């Protein structure tokens, strides 16, 4: 069973930056980040394909967040810049067990999930 462990969350002022990391204990393919704010549903943030490294972003974070990965370390990163109070949420790392995934923006496409890391942006 693959385990995902997130780190890097915390409290930051608006306009600041944070870098999240997610290390996988076993073999995974494409990886992504989702987030869930209080009282809201979990939503897609960003994803990166294992093959080719294509990246995908939610419109709300495009131009501010950057997803990257180190395949040798089986680790994915989320660099979050120009943070806003509305970015406050629990951020979840997710990974697929299949090499080919359709859109990478739906939760059902992912097989493994981390426990989440809290990101709080103060105004």
Tell me: the pLDDT tens digits for 47-94?
Answer: 999 887 899 999 999 999 999 999 889 899 999 999 999 999 999 999
The pair of structure tokens assigned to 53 is 């490294």
Half-sphere exposure of 23 (CA within 13 A, CB side): 5
Tell me: the pLDDT tens digits for 96-117?
Answer: 988 777 889 999 999 999 999 9
Per-residue pLDDT, 50: 83
């Amino acid at each position: 069973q693959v385990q995902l462990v997130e780190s890097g969350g915390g409290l930051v002022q608006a306009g600041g930056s944070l870098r999240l990391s997610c290390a996988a204990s076993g073999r995974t393919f494409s990886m992504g980040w989702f987030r869930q704010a209080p009282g809201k549903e979990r939503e897609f943030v960003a994803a990166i394909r294992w093959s080719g490294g294509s990246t995908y972003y939610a419109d709300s974070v495009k131009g501010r967040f950057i997803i990257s990965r180190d395949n040798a370390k089986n680790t994915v990163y989320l660099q979050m810049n120009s943070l806003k109070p509305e970015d406050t949420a629990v951020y979840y790392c997710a990974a697929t067990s299949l090499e080919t995934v359709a859109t990478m923006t739906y939760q059902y496409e992912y097989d493994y999930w981390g426990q989440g890391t809290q990101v709080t942006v103060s105004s």
